[in-house]
Amino acid sequence: MRSVAPDRRAVSSTVAVVLLLGMTLLGTGIIVGVGSSAMSATQQSVDVERAEQSMTQFDAVTAMVGLGQTGRESVSLRSSSDGQYAVSPDDGWIRITHYNYSADSDEVVYNASLGSVTYRTETTDVTYQGGGVWRQSEGGTSMVSPPEFHYRDATLTLPVVRVRNADSGSGRVRAVVSRRDEVARVYPKPDASGPGWETYADGTTPYRNPVRNGSVNVTVQSEFYRGWAEYFRTRTTGNVTLDHANRTATLELATVGMVGSFALPAKNEGVEIRGMASKHPIRQFEVSLAKSNGGNNNMDFSFYATKGAQAYETVVHVPKGIGNYCKNGKDADMTMAVYYRNGSGSQHVWTNDSIPAGTGPVSIDCSTETISVNYTSPMSMTYGGPGATDETSLTWDAPLASEAQFNHSGADGENTTFTPGEETTAGHLTRHYLSFFAPEFDLSVWHGPGNSGKARLDVDDSTGELRYDTTTSSRYITFLHVTENNVTVELE
């Protein structure tokens, strides 16, 4: 009997079918797994977006309550099955400090917790804090809506919205926001016991605007400190620093400097000019110089400034015979000279050597031998004229420029070009040249001849008046407005 060989084609066909079914099942499993992951990721993304929308609505409602527009409001908060809402009074804090408001003295103007309301999933947090909404995930921190921090034209308005209670909830909840107490004024701050203002620790500096001297720092401690720092940078050009170990972001805004009366600095020390505007900002600049030991005969007094290649000096010269003028009324003239260079290899020199000692903008009171100087007067000054002095703080040995081009368009009749022998006013020169050094510089004092700081002048009894327009640059602060706004958030 002949045996029958198996049909290899049938076996191959069966194996192929089995392999095909296996591959199909495997592929289906992969597709289902990948699809499930994608659907899960998509669902999470949708849930977070919904939470962001809900928290943005919550932000708007809380602002209405916190800022005093209404006493109580509510809003629905969406969430997925694995999302949780939590209210905390302790998350984060804000501190406002006025550094160097007087010498080396600092004042903590405000320091308090912020609190938060957070929607949390396994991968993402969406949090309301400080009047803003923040999102944090493995990809980093981003701002959903800005905090209550408003800066414009050197004015910082900061209503601090604080969450003052704890609560939690999951699923679809309703947040009820209530104003905890009345809006509290922090800065400026009137004295609650009567007329006047609350004062700093020194007992004299008032909690009132404008803010003068030093700098104002705003420091925020938060899980979202990077987002706060980025927002500070977009709103201002102040100095922003991060402390990663303590999770803080600090914004430093410089105050504008001396505006008004000042004590005359010692020799080679300066009057601090901070936050001066551009384009001829000086409005008033005068000094009264009290004599020290001896007389004022043959004295030179100057203010000078340098910045890079630029240099400026204005000198008043008291003639040698001024004592005779005061004793017997003999005629005498005072001298003023103004120097400037910008590094071009030449310099500008303006002079007037015939200023009446008794009635001019540079004059002497013989009863006290006090010299008064008005740097913003309409007195004529001649370009390249006689009267320049060698007694100066800075060295002025470059040749006279063939012309002086003044091109601050729209101020003091410029654009204008001056040649030797032509005139303009002392006030014009003061406003024009000092604007090149804005917004920050030291206007230093010098007097001689002699090296002693009090050889000719009693700086303790000498005074000045300097007033100028201030800048609205976004690195400065002139006006500060801070309030505390407390709310409670209950989840139902």
| Beta-carbon count within 10 A of 324 CB | 14
341 shares a domain with 443: yes
386: in domain = yes
Instruction: Provide the 8-state DSSP code for 91.
Output: S
- What is the residue range of 392's domain? 260-468
284 shares a domain with 339: yes
Containing H/E element for 159? strand 155-163
Average pLDDT over residues 230-242: 96
Domain count, the chain: 2
272 shares a domain with 235: no
pTM for the structure as a whole: 0.78
Of the candidates 159, 72, 41, the one whose C-alpha atom is nearest the C-alpha of residue 480 is 159
348: in domain = yes
252 shares a domain with 213: yes
SS (H, E, C) 306-340: EECCEEEEEEEECCCCHHHHHHHCCCCEEEEEEEE
Average pLDDT over residues 431-439: 95
> From CA 228, how far away is CA 240, in angstroms rounded?
10
CA atoms within 13 A on the CB side of 313: 24
- Percent of the chain scored above 70 by pLDDT? 86
Of the candidates 255, 390, 404, 298, the one whose C-alpha atom is nearest the C-alpha of residue 344 is 404
> From CA 122, how far away is CA 136, in angstroms rounded?
11
- Give Rg (Cα) of the chain: 36
Ramachandran region, residue 291 (left: φ > 0; alpha: ψ -120 to 50; beta: rest):
beta
> From CA 14, how far away is CA 7, in angstroms rounded?
11
Question: Which 3 state secondary structure label does DSSP give 98?
Answer: strand
With bands split at pLDDT 50, 70 and 90, how would you rate the model's confidence at 140? Answer: confident
Lowest model confidence (mean pLDDT) among 207-216, 363-372, 478-487 = 363-372
| Beta-carbon count within 10 A of 212 CB | 17
**Does residue 462 register a pLDDT over 80?**
yes
228: in domain = yes
**Does residue 42 register a pLDDT over 80?**
no
307 shares a domain with 180: no
By the 10 Å C-beta count (0-12 exposed, 13-18 middle, 19+ buried), 344 is classed as: exposed
Q: What's the pLDDT at 36?
A: 46
Which residues are CB-contacts of 219 (< 8 A; sequence separation ≥ 6)?
94, 95, 96, 97, 248, 249, 250, 251
Lowest model confidence (mean pLDDT) among 28-32, 78-82, 320-324, 476-480 = 28-32
29: in domain = no
430 shares a domain with 486: no
352: in domain = yes
Q: Dihedrals φ, ψ of 140, to 5°?
A: 120, -165
Average pLDDT over residues 447-462: 72
The amino acid that residue 187 corresponds to is Y
> From CA 70, how far away is CA 159, in angstroms rounded?
16
**Does residue 138 register a pLDDT over 90?**
no
pLDDT digits (tens, 9 = 90+) for 113-131: 999 999 998 889 999 999 9
- Token output for 273: 């000019």
With bands split at pLDDT 50, 70 and 90, how would you rate the model's confidence at 24? Answer: low
6: in domain = no
269 shares a domain with 250: no
Who wins on pLDDT, 81 or 229?
A: 229
Concatenated DSSP letters of 415-451: SEEE-TT-EEEHHHHHHHHHGGG-SEEEEEEEEESSS
> From CA 103, how far away is CA 312, in angstroms rounded?
27
103 shares a domain with 81: yes
204 shares a domain with 68: yes
The amino acid that residue 172 corresponds to is R
300 shares a domain with 155: no
Q: What's the pLDDT at 365?
A: 87
66 shares a domain with 202: yes
C-alpha 418: how far from chain center: 38
1: in domain = no
Mean per-residue pLDDT of the chain: 88
298 shares a domain with 162: no
Of the candidates 255, 187, 188, 251, the one whose C-alpha atom is nearest the C-alpha of residue 215 is 255
152: in domain = yes
Containing H/E element for 176? strand 173-179
| Beta-carbon count within 10 A of 111 CB | 11
The residue ranges of DSSP E strands in 14-83, in sequence order, are 72-77
Give the burial string for 17-40 (b: 16+ CB within 10 Å, else e).
Answer: eeeeeeeeeeeeeeeeeeeeeeee
pLDDT digits (tens, 9 = 90+) for 271-305: 989 999 988 999 999 999 998 766 667 789 999 99
> From CA 115, how far away is CA 108, in angstroms rounded?
20
